[in-house]
Amino acid sequence: VPSHCSGDIKCGEILAGVEVIEEDEVDMEEALNDSESTPSASNEEIPSAAKVMKMAKRKGRVGNVEVIALGCRSLKATSSFLSIKKPFVVCRIGDSEECKTKPSNRPRPEFCNYSETLLFENVDLPDDDDQAPFLDIKVFDKGTIAGKTLLGTGSFWLGNSAYYREIRSKRSQTLA
């Protein structure tokens, strides 16, 4: 975080929409049994994320998540000596591949628009919204002397998405 952005001062905003567009019911424990072996007591290695998930025995779905990256607002340079040239956004959900927008300086670098759709395929979506993954977001500036400069980071918990709101609604209806 740049020194001029500490405390309650905002250093920019990211505009994005998130939606699960496909889903297939999958028993995540069974899927992990196919690809991971259970750690033995004599095995000293730290368990991988997949092994930890397997031990949790959670059920869920594998789905595609579509993120509509609209733009960034009120971006600030990391130094008063540099200006923002062409910011772009890099996103990741859980262990998925990174997706990124094209660099944009329209209408202005500090208030750039992307209007791009980023597709994350085969994302593990647990039925329990408390275990929902995060959309991790990094904003970089391309065009600085150093190549790319990190302007900021953020995350969005998918538990707040319409997909999980619908799951909570169905769950509360069955309990009533």
pLDDT score at 175:
79
CA-based nearest residue to 54, from 75, 66, 36, 72: 36
pLDDT score at 77:
85
What percent of the chain has a predicted confidence (pLDDT) above 90? 36
Q: How confident is the model at residue 116 (pLDDT cuts 50, 70, 90)?
A: very high
* Beta-strand relationship, 134-144 and 147-157: antiparallel
> Assign residue 115 a region: left if phi > 0, alpha if psi is -120 to 50, beta otherwise?
left
Host H or E run for residue 28: helix 28-35
Per residue in 55-106, pLDDT (tens digit) is 455 688 889 999 999 999 999 888 888 889 999 999 999 888 999 999 999 9
pLDDT score at 22:
53
Q: How confident is the model at residue 148 (pLDDT cuts 50, 70, 90)?
A: confident
pTM of the predicted model, to two decimals?
0.68
Q: How far is CA 115 from CA 100, 130, 132, in A?
A: 12, 30, 25
Per residue in 20-36, pLDDT (tens digit) is 665 555 555 555 555 44
Show the tokens assigned to 127: 């039925």
Peptide bond into 39 cis (omega under 30): no
CA-based nearest residue to 134, from 115, 160, 116, 152: 160
Q: In this structure, what are the phi and psi dihedrals at residue 112, rounded to the nearest 5 degrees?
A: -80, 150
3-state secondary structure of 60: strand
Handedness of CA 149, 158, 96, 19 (dihedral sign): negative
